[in-house]
Amino acid sequence: MSATIIDGVAIAKTIRAEVAEQVAALSAHGIVPGLAVILVGEDPASSIYVRSKGKACKEAGMHSETIILPADTTEADLLATIDRVNADPLIHGLLVQLPVPAHIDTDKVLRRIDPAKDVDGFHPVNVGKLVLGDPTAFKPATPAGIQQMLLRSGVETRGAHAVIVGRSTIVGRPMANLLIQSGPGGDATVTVTHSRTRDLAGMCRSADILVVAIGRAEMIGADAVKPGATVIDVGINRVDDASLPKGYRVCGDVAFDEVSKVAGAITPVPGGVGPMTIAMLLSNTLQAATLRQQGR
């Protein structure tokens, strides 16, 4: 058996086209959704990602601002910048690119963002709304993207056993909250596993849907996957490989070559979950602009 490949690039392209169409309709009424990204320091990976967000906004017809602050910016100055953007009527969505330098309290930064502009979905208000199933909640982009991949690939979540490997507040926990909600893309029975889980492989083998976000290269092999299961690989790791010109290769948390022979469907790395993150960020920014228009 060879698994069906869930193409994140194609699905993200479709979502971004849908968002662009809705942005155009909103803009016709004088409302142009705006996204601001604050970057502290010039970490190369973060800088590339921030530029990608700006380009994606432009392609969707959105207003985009990137605010780059020096790495030695004080916490007080960063919080003041957040306050300024919170008050800017042209900006509907705001995020601070993580990680921030060690001298800045990440939790304090996330709590300072206006919940109505928190398109990353990390503010406690939005976390609470998500748990309650409030439709105005901003869903963290990666879990929301995974849910869309499942829906648009025809993967049935209702009544399915979903096992999530990883309990981070960015992926694992919000993913569990999305999958247990009632309605499309939900109604699953969810088990969250982590580094302290006994018999992790056995838990994974019980999954109809396996979401892996553990941050360890190719940790999940074929022996941990039920035949025919849907496998979503959130990981992205750089592994040394002297046989390649760059001296390394990029892989996920799942051993793709062997697992793809067992699974019914699987996401590749790269080209799977990654492209969905920016697509859902654009969707959340559109949502923020729409909610403001509605006075919600």
**DSSP string across the chain:** --PEE--HHHHHHHHHHHHHHHHHHHHTTT---EEEEEEES--HHHHHHHHHHHHHHHHHT-EEEEEEE-TT--HHHHHHHHHHHHT-TT-SEEEEPSPPPTTS-HHHHHHHS-GGGBTT--SHHHHHHHHHT-TTSPPPHHHHHHHHHHHHTT---TT-EEEEE---TTTHHHHHHHHHSSSTT---EEEEE-TT-TTHHHHHHT-SEEEE---STT-B-GGGS-TT-EEEE---EEEE-TTSTTSEEEE-SB-HHHHTTT-SEE--SSSSSHHHHHHHHHHHHHHHHHHHHTT-
Active site residue ranges: 53, 97, 120
pLDDT for res 295: 82
Check pLDDT > 90 for residue 49: no
Domain 30-116, CATH: 3.40.50.10860
Question: Is there a common fold for 30-116 and 141-275?
Answer: yes
Instruction: Give me the residue spans of the domains in the chain.
Output: 30-116, 141-275
Q: Note the maximum CA span of the chain.
A: 57
**213-256 per-position pLDDT tens digit:** 999 999 999 999 999 999 999 999 999 999 999 999 999 999 99
pLDDT for res 270: 95
How far apart CA 290 and CA 77 sit, in angstroms, is: 30
Amino acid letter for position 185 = G
The predicted model scores a pTM of 0.95
Check pLDDT > 70 for residue 78: yes
Q: Name the CA dihedral angle for 145, 133, 186, 205, rounded to a multiple of 10 degrees.
A: 80
pLDDT for res 168: 96
How far apart CA 125 and CA 118 sit, in angstroms, is: 9
How does residue 92 score in pLDDT terms, banded at 50, 70 and 90?
very high
Domain 141-275 fold is Rossmann fold (3.40.50)
How does residue 1 score in pLDDT terms, banded at 50, 70 and 90?
low
How far apart CA 147 and CA 137 sit, in angstroms, is: 15
How far apart CA 204 and CA 207 sit, in angstroms, is: 5
Q: How many CB atoms lie within 10 A of CB 206?
A: 12
**165-204 per-position pLDDT tens digit:** 999 999 999 999 999 999 999 999 999 999 899 999 999 9
What are the residues whose beta carbons fall under 8 Å from the beta carbon of 37, sequence distance 6 or more?
A: 50, 53, 54, 64, 65, 66, 67, 94, 95, 96, 97
Burial class (CB in 10 A: 0-12, 13-18, 19+), 34: buried
Contact 212, 165 (CB under 8 A): yes
- The count of residues in the chain is 296
Q: How many CB atoms lie within 10 A of CB 90?
A: 11
Contact 33, 20 (CB under 8 A): no
